[in-house]
Amino acid sequence: MTRLDHALPSIESYVALFSSHELPVLRRTTRELAALRQREDEIGGKQITGVVLGDPLMTLRLLSYIEAHRPQSQNHAITTIDRAVMMIGISPFFRLFDTMPTLEETLADIPPALIGLLGVIGRARRAAHFAREWAIIRHDLDVDEITIAALLHDIADILCWAFAPALTARVYAMQRADHSLRSATAQREVFGFTAAELQLALVKHWQLPDLLISLMDHSSADNPRVRTVVLANALARHTAKGWDNPAIPDDLAAIQSLLKINREQLILRLAIPEEAAERLMPEPTEPPAPPN
């Protein structure tokens, strides 16, 4: 797979490079799918869906495939993994995704890049978990759509680690050196474009359903479904190293507003460790002054 060590002149150049290679997936994904294939006659689509949703790149591969091969007579997009598996069929699914390159093989000679990439994937899975739980609380019409949108929210960051590890490492190094530096600013300086700009071009090229694209669009954050995805990813990012990030109290306040629950209920649902939970509880309001 071609590795990029310099910025490209246009968004289209990045899209062409990233789409000219087969997307790698987690090694664990290939192993778990191989194990399921050994029991092909005993399993259903639910087991396959569980494996796919554990891997943002496998999720992207499947949704892109199903959209590219959607019959012209089918006038609605497939927006969830279980429906995609159902449409393909279990045996055809295993044949289609029998052999896939892995991220561990792709970055075997750059361990720090692999660690960075796995960290972003872990964050994406955490965001998907948050989003799913909150969508259930909100009685969302389709919890799985929210889950997938949260899982794929930072897919450009994952792809940049895979295809341009040196450039991506530079972005992270700039932010470590200057904690006030916004990620979008660092990305534009190194890549010439922000991850959000690149991601929009990529998901459109890979023909992700418009609904999923819209759920990842921050400009529509007033929509409760979009806000669920945005806040889930924000909390996953801010808690990547624990519950000490100064942005977390603001995250919790926004999540409370979204879910219409109090801080204590939210802390319990998030299973925040006791010492952090005490710190994150709001200060008690002063009781009213006694009458004269």
Count up the domains in the chain and report the number: 2
Residue 124 and residue 260 in one domain: yes
Residue 130 and residue 233 in one domain: yes
Residue 94 and residue 239 in one domain: no
Domain CATH code at residue 220: 1.10.3210.10
Q: Which two tokens stand for residue 278?
A: 């005490």
In a domain, 233, yes or no: yes
Residue 92 and residue 135 in one domain: no
- Could you give the CA distance from residue 233 to residue 56 in angstroms, rounded to a whole number? 14
- Give the domain-ending residue among 80, 100, 120: 100
User: Over its length of 292 residues, how does the chain's per-residue pLDDT go in tens digits?
Assistant: 778 989 999 999 999 998 888 999 999 999 999 999 999 999 999 999 999 999 999 999 999 999 888 776 676 788 899 999 999 999 999 999 999 999 999 999 999 999 999 999 999 999 999 999 999 999 999 999 999 999 999 999 999 999 999 999 999 999 999 988 999 999 999 999 999 899 889 988 888 888 898 998 888 888 999 999 999 999 999 999 999 999 999 999 999 999 999 999 999 999 999 999 999 987 665 444 455 4
Contact by Cβ (8 Å): 266, 283 = no
b (16+ CB within 10 A) / e for 96-113: ebeebbbbbebbeebeeb
> Which residues make Cβ contacts (< 8 Å) with residue 273, sequence separation at least 6?
243
Residue 93 and residue 128 in one domain: no
Residue 131 and residue 270 in one domain: yes
Which helix (H) or strand (E) covers residue 126, if one does? helix 111-137
What pLDDT score does 292 carry? 46
- Give the domain-ending residue among 37, 70, 100: 100
**pTM for the complete prediction?**
0.92
- Could you give the CA distance from residue 147 to residue 129 in angstroms, rounded to a whole number? 7
In a domain, 225, yes or no: yes
Contact by Cβ (8 Å): 158, 95 = no
In a domain, 252, yes or no: yes
Phi and psi, residue 172, nearest 5°: -65, -35
What pLDDT score does 221 carry? 82
Please give the full DSSP string across 217-231, using - where no structure is assigned. Answer: -GGGTTSHHHHHHHH
Please count the residues of the chain: 292
In a domain, 95, yes or no: yes
**Closest C-alpha to 64, from 42, 33, 89, 96:** 96
Residue 144 and residue 122 in one domain: yes
Contact by Cβ (8 Å): 146, 135 = yes
Residue 191 and residue 148 in one domain: yes
Residue 179 and residue 45 in one domain: no
Measured between alpha carbons, how far apart are the two ends of the chain, in Å?
A: 79
- Could you give the CA distance from residue 225 to residue 141 in angstroms, rounded to a whole number? 10
Residue 69 and residue 124 in one domain: no
In a domain, 4, yes or no: no
- Could you give the CA distance from residue 238 to residue 242 in angstroms, rounded to a whole number? 8
What pLDDT score does 289 carry? 45
Residue 156 and residue 272 in one domain: yes
In a domain, 195, yes or no: yes
What pLDDT score does 207 carry? 84
Please give the full DSSP string across 171-189, using - where no structure is assigned. Answer: HHHHHHH-TT--HHHHHHH
Residue 65 and residue 187 in one domain: no
3-state class of 86 per DSSP?
helix
What pLDDT score does 157 carry? 94
What pLDDT score does 67 carry? 87
Phi and psi, residue 25, nearest 5°: -130, 175
Residue 281, Cβ neighbours under 10 Å: how many? 14
Domain that holds residue 65: 25-100
For residue 102, list its beta bridge partners. Answer: 25
- Could you give the CA distance from residue 56 to residue 29 in angstroms, rounded to a whole number? 10
Match 């690149």 to its residue by tokens.
198
| Encoded amino acid at 150, one letter | A
